[in-house]
């Protein structure tokens, strides 16, 4: 008989497969003394706590076991091209304190990461929690990342960030595991975890200053061979187009359908946030250009839907706030260009988490890491 480690026992509790000691014994086939030892060690380390009692089938009602959500905390930062958000969460990814501001990522890694560190300390002070309570940190950025190394590979929206060792820099101030993720991927995880776990696959497209996508397949992040999956904004649709993309090419989807592209066509010095405000005010030109952009992006998304066959397609970012005008354009093209059976049952919706999607998704990824059997068992070693 294979003896399960405390970390593996914790996984069974986290996943809801076993809620009591009795269920653990029945599910694993391990002896009562072994299960008692594993659970006691998890409780002593404050990974698990007792919470109420289950229905008894006879005799004393069994005590329910659950992950102790407040025993450890996470710090998460969501960095976009024009915004920054930070949150302090518990082990259920519930924000306990948050802070959001407008900040250009092009100000460079030193200035932006210094703000993140200061904001993290402000959140801890605000809640009266200690730095020693923090067990992990997640940071997402609008670019391609080396997830394992915690570095930025490249981003056309982040001058000065290429090959920057984000995790290494942050570890100088925080001696905990630090995960670096692409922003659209983090948002995809957040949306899937909070609203769509019953759906096996989800495709999220973030449309703000640029365009990027995050992919969740069978409940797991899909990154691609070079961790560049989701770079949908740089698919070239019109090679003869005069509009130059941030990547230097002409006719990319981002140069035609991003919030920045719409803003450029509507007037000088406008941003994607300005586009949202114009649409919400009922400006006819802004509404028409927004719907056109949605139809343009829909051309590429129709291909993605045919390839991935997702159960849900989520629109996030600034353009998700345009009163469904951008989403209407996407729907028109996706349904027109895709085979009916590939879109049967497909739900096309806007983000349910809004500006919190990135921090929630970042928190979920860090939780999965710090509560993984390998990490938990390493921490429980004598």
**Do 230 and 170 sit in the same domain of this protein?**
no
* Dist CA 346 CA 201 (whole Å): 10
Q: Same structural domain for residues 89 and 206? A: no
User: Contact, 273 vs 265, CB < 8 A?
Assistant: no
Q: Are residues 288 and 334 in the same domain?
A: yes
Q: 332 and 284, same structural domain? A: yes
Per-residue pLDDT at 259 exceeds 80: yes
Q: Is 131 helix (H, G, I), strand (E, B) or coil?
A: helix
Average pLDDT, integer, range 206-211: 95
The dihedrals phi and psi of 88, each to the nearest 5 degrees, come to -110, 120
Predicted local confidence at residue 226, as pLDDT: 84
Same domain as 47, residue 140: no
CATH number of the domain bearing residue 266: 3.30.420.40
Domain boundary residue, one of 17, 38, 67: 67
Assigned domain for 313 exists: yes
Total domains in the chain come to 3
Q: Which domain holds residue 102?
A: 73-186+358-379
Whether 288 is in a domain gets the answer yes
Q: Could you tell me if residue 263 is inside a domain?
A: yes
The verdict on 59 and 150 lying in the same domain is: no
Q: What is the DSSP code (8-state) at residue 19?
A: -
In a domain? residue 192: no
Whether residue 347 sits in one domain with residue 242 = yes
Residue 50's CATH number:
1.10.10.10
Is residue 323, in this structure, part of any structural domain at all?
A: yes
Q: Residue 252, class by beta-carbon neighbours within 10 Å (0-12 exposed, 13-18 middle, 19+ buried)?
A: buried
User: Do residues 201 and 182 share a domain?
Assistant: no
Tell whether 191 is covered by a domain. Answer: no
Q: Quick check: pTM over 0.85?
A: yes
Residue at which a domain ends, from 20, 40, 67: 67
What is the 8-class DSSP label of residue 57?
A: S
How large is the average pLDDT for residues 72-98?
96
pLDDT attached to residue 56:
62
Same domain (yes/no): 295, 233: yes
Q: What is the mean pLDDT of residues 86-111?
A: 96
Beta bridge partners of 152: 145
State whether 247 and 345 are in the same domain: yes
Residue 311 pLDDT more than 70? yes
Question: Is 319 part of any domain?
Answer: yes
Per-residue HEC secondary structure of 206-265 comes to EECCCEEEEEEECCEECCCCCCCCCCHHHCECCCCCCCECCCCCECEHHHHHCHHHHHHH
Q: For 112-169, write each residue's pLDDT tens digit.
A: 999 999 999 999 999 999 999 999 999 999 999 999 999 998 888 899 999 999 999 9
CA 11-351-80 angle, 5° bins: 90
**pLDDT at site 238:** 83
State how far the Cα of 301 lies from the Cα of 204, in Å rounded to an integer: 10
Over residues 52-80, the pLDDT tens digits come to: 776 666 667 789 999 999 999 999 999 99
Number of alpha carbons in the 13 Å side-chain half-sphere of residue 273: 8
Name the DSSP letter for residue 49.
E
Verify that 209 and 343 share a domain, yes or no: yes
Burial class (CB in 10 A: 0-12, 13-18, 19+), 186: buried
Tell whether 116 is covered by a domain. Answer: yes
Final residue belonging to a domain, choices 45, 67, 89: 67
Helix, strand, or coil (residue 121): helix
pLDDT value, residue 58: 60
Q: Does residue 333 sit in the same domain as residue 201? A: yes
Query: Of 245 and 87, which is predicted with more confidence?
Result: 87
């Amino acid at each position: 008989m294979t003896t399960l480690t405390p970390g593996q026992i914790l996984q069974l509790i986290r996943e809801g497969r076993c809620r009591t000691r009795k269920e653990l014994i029945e599910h694993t086939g391990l002896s009562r003394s072994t299960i008692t030892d594993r659970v006691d060690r998890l409780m002593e380390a404050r990974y698990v706590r007792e919470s109420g009692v289950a229905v008894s089938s006879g005799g004393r009602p069994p005590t329910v076991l659950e992950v102790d959500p407040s025993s450890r905390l996470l710090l998460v930062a969501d960095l976009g091209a024009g915004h920054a958000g930070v949150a302090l969460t518990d082990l259920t990814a519930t924000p306990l304190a948050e802070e959001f501001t407008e900040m250009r990522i092009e100000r460079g890694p030193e200035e932006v990461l210094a703000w993140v560190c200061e904001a993290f300390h402000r959140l801890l002070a605000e809640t009266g929690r200690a730095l020693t309570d923090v067990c992990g940190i997640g940071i997402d950025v609008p670019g391609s990342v080396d997830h394992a190394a915690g570095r930025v590979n490249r981003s056309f929206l982040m001058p000065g960030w290429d090959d920057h060792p984000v995790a290494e820099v942050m570890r100088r101030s925080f001696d905990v595991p630090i995960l670096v993720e692409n922003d659209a991927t983090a948002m995809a995880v957040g949306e899937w975890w909070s609203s769509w776990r019953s759906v096996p696959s989800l495709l999220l497209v973030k449309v703000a200053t640029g365009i990027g996508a995050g992919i969740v397949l069978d409940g797991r992040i899909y990154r691609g061979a070079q961790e560049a999956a989701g770079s949908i904004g740089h698919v070239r649709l019109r090679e003869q187009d005069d509009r130059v993309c941030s990547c230097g090419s002409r006719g990319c989807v981002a140069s035609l359908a991003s919030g920045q592209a719409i803003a450029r066509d509507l007037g000088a010095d406008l941003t994607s946030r300005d586009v949202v405000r114009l649409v919400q005010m009922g400006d006819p030109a802004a509404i028409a250009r927004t719907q056109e952009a949605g139809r343009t992006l829909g051309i590429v998304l129709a291909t993605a839907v045919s390839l991935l066959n997702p159960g849900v397609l989520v629109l996030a970012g600034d353009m998700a706030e345009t009163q469904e005008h951008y989403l209407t354009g996407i729907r028109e093209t996706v349904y027109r260009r895709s085979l009916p059976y590939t879109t049967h049952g497909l739900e096309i919706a806007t983000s349910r988490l809004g500006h919190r999607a990135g921090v929630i998704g970042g928190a979920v990824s860090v939780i999965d890491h710090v509560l993984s059997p390998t990490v938990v068992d390493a921490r429980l070693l004598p």
